[in-house]
Amino acid sequence: MSTLMQEMNERALKAGVPLSVQLDLTYRCNERCVHCYLDHDDHGEMTTAEITGVLDQLAEAGVFFLCFSGGEVLMRPDFFRLVEHARSLLFSVKVKTNAFLMREKEADRLCELGVQSVQVSIYSHRAEVHDAITKLPGSLKRSLAGIRLLRERGMKTIIANVFMRQNLQDYSGVVALAKELGAEYTLDPTITPMLDGDRAVLGLGIDQRELREVFRTPELVGNVNEFCAPPPAVDDDALDSVPCSASHTFCYISPYGDVYPCVQFPLPTGNVRQQKFLEIWKHSPQMNEVRSIRGRDLPTCSSCSHLGACTRCPGLAYMEGNMRGPSTQDCEKSFARTGIPSANMLAKAAASPIFSGGARLVQITGGQQPAVPTLLSTK
Amino acid sequence: MSPLYIARSREIAARELDGEMMIMSARNSTLFNLNELGTLIWQAADGATSLEEIVAQKVCPEYEVESAEALKDAEAFVRELAEHGILLISDQPIAAPAAPKEPA
């Protein structure tokens, strides 16, 4: 992050300004990605007038960075009216789309409107892999054609690559594709549980061994020694730090007007159909509860050596049952980077059946083997 | 010296934070932060008021500076912003550009 951007974040944090908001315009989508955390039915999306009204409120609240996402944003016929309204309010607009419906007209319009960047998820350079994930035949071809149209017009375009078991082996192909297209590349090794709490999709994610390999690939993480360095000693700064921007300088609004601390933090804090945005942002008890949490308030993580460098997501922790608890997926990432188990992992290991009941040690006395204490129970 | 008119570009994102303008160029995502004085000039850049008038009416009373010196500094400032494409400058009043049309 640039120094100026960092300064801006700090000032916004101090002033209690929601610098960034993600607004999902719809959960409807033409793709059916195997790992998607959303239900794609329309349960009563906000109307054009409701959304433009929300945008007015967001501008008044000081929001600068606005991300339109979904679902697939181009499924909404009023999408460009909404972008136009957002740009007239001088938001820095980012759009997340699968680009399947991106034609010349749409690409032209995004450029004319001064959209800052467009992010497109690409899972593989091979159609058979990408299309099997999106469950939409022809989707890789169409998405790449959309990206090409955007790049030809000079639009900053970001290819986002979510790592799963079924596409991990193709990352270098996607990196090469991004290079060829002049697009930026970003990876995400985390699969998010469904918003309704269903965690079955997590089984699609890569395992610890694969994560370790990813984190040791310079092409993906840059300087491996730096990226995988042991965490710095936990000091007062770490203990007094806020876990992330959720509820501090960022929040998320669903197509139904529900406001949450973050897109993957489904704690309801209010609804813009019933309340003013600023009323929710400033006075929602839930928003203020999230805002009050510091490193030292986390029962397990405050005693963890990773605290100062952990990517702990309070939303994922919330989905595990406790917003002040650890996020196991982030513990696994910290472990994969450094080889140092987190406090959560150690606590879980200590509580596991292997250790329970007084840590049964089995002495093997038969044959020539020496007496070896083992952690394996014969029970 | 002919008057100089200034107008905010449409190809930017902008928001006031704590009394100072944050501006991002849509052209290349460069981020700018204007101090209070720069913000004052930026907000007055309506395309119809000359820079000389802006300096005389807004800057000098607020900052108690000498008019000629303030105008010189202000001119250097607006030319720098114009180079980055976030401000338009002209020796004629600048009309607000029409919004792009909705695709059919």
SS3 sequence, chain B? CCCCEEEECCCEEEEEECCEEEEEECCCCCEEEECHHHHHHHHHCEEEEEHHHHHHHHHHHHHCCCHHHHHHHHHHHHHHHHHCCCEEEECCCCCCCCCCCCCC
Least Cα separation, residue A107 to chain B (angstroms): 11
User: Which residue from B13, B17, B99 is facing A92, i.e. has the nearest CB?
Assistant: B13
User: Which residue from B10, B17, B103 is facing A15, i.e. has the nearest CB?
Assistant: B17
pLDDT at residue A362 above 60? Answer: no
Give the tens place of pLDDT for each residue, A50-59: 999 999 999 9
List phi, psi (to 5°) of A92. -85, 110
Residue found under tokens 């820079």: B51
Taking the Cβ of residue B35 and every Cβ of chain A, the question of whether any pair is shorter than 8 Å is answered with no
Give the tens place of pLDDT for each residue, A177-212: 999 999 999 998 889 898 888 888 999 999 999 999
Instruction: Name the DSSP letter for residue A94.
Output: E
Whole-Å CA distances, A313 to A215, A288, B76: 18, 17, 46
A235 vs A239: CA distance, rounded Å: 6
Q: What percent of chain A has pLDDT over 70?
A: 93
Q: What is the DSSP string of A113-132?
A: TT--EEEEE---SSHHHHHH
CA nearest neighbour of B40 among B17, B20, B22: B20
Give the tens place of pLDDT for each residue, A149-165: 999 999 999 999 999 99
pLDDT-derived band at A120 (thresholds 50, 70, 90) equals: very high
Q: What is the mean pLDDT of chain A?
A: 91
- What pLDDT shows up at residue A243? 86
Give the tens place of pLDDT for each residue, B10-53: 889 999 999 999 999 987 889 999 999 999 999 999 999 999 99
pLDDT at residue A367 above 70? Answer: no
Q: For residue A363, what are its two tokens?
A: 């002495």
A371 vs A216: CA distance, rounded Å: 38
A90: nearest CA partner in chain B: B13
A329 vs A317: CA distance, rounded Å: 9
Mean pLDDT value of segment A67-89: 97
Residue found under tokens 């998820």: A121
- What pLDDT shows up at residue A223? 96
- What pLDDT shows up at residue A32? 96
